[in-house]
Structure 1
C-alpha cells in the first residue's frame, strides 16, 4: 500500500492546515498504539480495543506530547505550536480544552512526520512516549 504513496517534502507537509495533519496523524497514532499492544499483549481483541481507546483519548495524548516536547526540533515544535493554537470550532465537552488542543498538536505532529515520509523520526518519538497500561 505505501509503495505507491506519494509523500511530501517537509516544507509542503508543514504548509498543510494543521487540522488536516491532525486528521491523518490521528490514524497514524492509533495504528502505532494498536501495533504496540498487539506485540506487547497476549489478550483478546476486545481488551486490546479497550486499552487502545484509553491510550488514544485526548488526556492521554496530551500527556504523551508532554513526554516528547523537549525532544522536538524547530520544525516539529512549529507544527505543535500551530496546532495547539488553532481555532477548534466544536471541542468535545467531556475533555478539557487545553488537553484537546495538546492532543490535536500530537496528532498533527504525527501526521506531519508521516506525510513527509519521516518514519524513523516518527518511531523515535513514539518510542519516547511512556504508554501507561493497567
Structure 2
C-alpha cells in the first residue's frame, strides 16, 4: 500500500478488521470532519474551537447523530453499524450511558468502514445529514 490518503481495501480485507479497529479509524475520520466543519462555518475560534469539537465528538452527540442517519443507511451499512454497536467495549466514559456509547461506536465503525472502502462520497453525504440542524 502506497497511498493512505486514498485507501480502498477489498471486502475481504475489511472483514478481517475488528469492529473496534473500524471504530478506531472512524473516530479519527469523524473528528477531522467536525474540525473541518467548525472552521468552514466559523463556529468557533481559539480555545472555543477545541470546546466546540469536544461537544460534537462526545459519545452523547455521536449517538444523537447516529439516530439521525439510521433511516438513510443501506442494508449493508446497517449490518456494519449493528456490528459496531455489538463490539465488546471494556469501559464506558462516565458522561455517557452504555447505550449511547454503543451507538457512538457503531457510528464510528460505519464511518471507518466507509472510509477504508474508499467511499468518501458516502462519508460526506452521511456527515452532511448529521450536521444539517447544526448550521
Deviations 1:71-107 (A, max 9, x none): 0011110111011112211222331000000000000
5+ unaligned residues in a row in structure 1: which ranges? none
Question: Runs ≥4 in structure 1, deviation > 4 angstroms?
Answer: none
- Corresponding position of 1:83: 84
User: Contact 2:44/2:52 (CA < 8 Å) preserved in 1?
Assistant: no
TM-score of the two chains, using structure 1 as the length reference: 0.89
TM-score of the two chains, using structure 2 as the length reference: 0.89
5+ unaligned residues in a row in structure 2: which ranges? none
RMSD of the alignment, in Å?
Answer: 1.9
Change (3 A) 1:67 1:14: farther
- Corresponding position of 1:45: 46
Q: Does 1:29 align with 2:33?
A: no
Change (3 A) 1:57 1:132: farther
- Corresponding position of 1:4: 3
